[in-house]
Copies of this chain bind each other. A is one copy, B any other.
Amino acid sequence: MITLEKVRQRAESDAKTYGYHLNPDPKFLMDLLEGLKMNEERYGYPSCPCRLASGKIEFDRDITCPCDYRDPDVEEHGACYCALYVRKDLFEGKTAIQPVPERRPQEKQARAYRIVAETAAEKPSGTTAVVPKEPLEIKLRLWYCKQCGYVCYREEPPYVCPICKAKREMFAEIKHA
């Protein structure tokens, strides 16, 4: 069972690992955690409460919390897109929390909309599907962190290595493992 306590604990623990803080506004924070809980119940994974999920993990992977964009967003703007994770100075109120522009590529956003539309169209309704089906292929590859050797299997490497915190530029593809 997914409890709010568990969702909060997971976010707190992850924040600590990266040196972030959770949003200091208790009501705002609770709403985000509720959103994460709802998404996890609905989809099986905690997709971002501030974005449209396709319901297919392959396409929502980059917006599953903590999303791929959190680390560069906290670095550049002091907060992630949702403002669930914030930098210390924003947590302490020294810097105001500002709206964070969407870093997720337009192409991926559009893809989510298409899939949601397609899924709706697939439901038996007696009418013909109006959304043309297009292959939505995802090419997963093996990446490794040149600094610590961490290996992951993704479309693109993470912005920050979860082990040694090296930047994305330190990742390279494993060609012949």
A146 and B12 contact, CB distance less than 8 A = no
Contact segment of A92-100, A101-109, A165-173 = A165-173
Q: Select from chain B the residue with minimum beta-carbon distance to A177.
A: B142
Q: Would you call A57 and B9 a contact (CB within 8 A)?
A: no
Closest residue of chain B to A68, judged by CB?
B148
Question: When the two chains form their complex, are residues B18 and A13 in contact, meaning their CB atoms are under 8 A apart?
Answer: yes
Q: Does chain B have a CB within 8 A of A49?
A: no
Q: How far is the CB of A1 from chain B (nearest CB, A)?
A: 8
Taking CB atoms, residues of chain B closer than 8 Å to A140 are: 144, 149
Q: Contact at B147–A45, with CB atoms within 8 Å?
A: yes
Contact A165 B10 (CB under 8 A): yes
User: Could you tell me the dominant secondary structure of chain A's interface residues?
Assistant: mixed
Q: Inside 8 A of A18's CB, which chain B residues have their CB?
A: 13
Of A22-30, A110-118, A121-129, A156-164, the one contacting chain B is: A156-164
Contact yes or no, A148 B158, CB < 8 A: yes
Number of residues on chain A facing chain B (CB within 8 A): 44
Contact A10 B17 (CB under 8 A): no
Cα–Cα distance between A10 and B162 once the two chains are bound (Å): 11
Instruction: Point out the residues of chain B lying under 8 angstroms from A147, CB to CB.
Output: 45, 57, 61, 64
Q: Considering the chains assembled together, what is the distance between the CA atoms of A66 and B163 in angstroms? A: 11
Docked pose: A170 CA to B58 CA in angstroms: 11
CB distance from A71 to the nearest CB of B (A): 11
User: Given the complex of chains A and B, what is the CA–CA distance between A174 and B153 in angstroms?
Assistant: 8
CB proximity of A82 to chain B, nearest CB, Å = 16
Known: A142-B151, A144-B152, A153-B151. A9 touches B19 (CB 8 A): yes
Within 8 A of B (CB), among A28-84: 44-45, 57-58, 61, 64, 66, 75
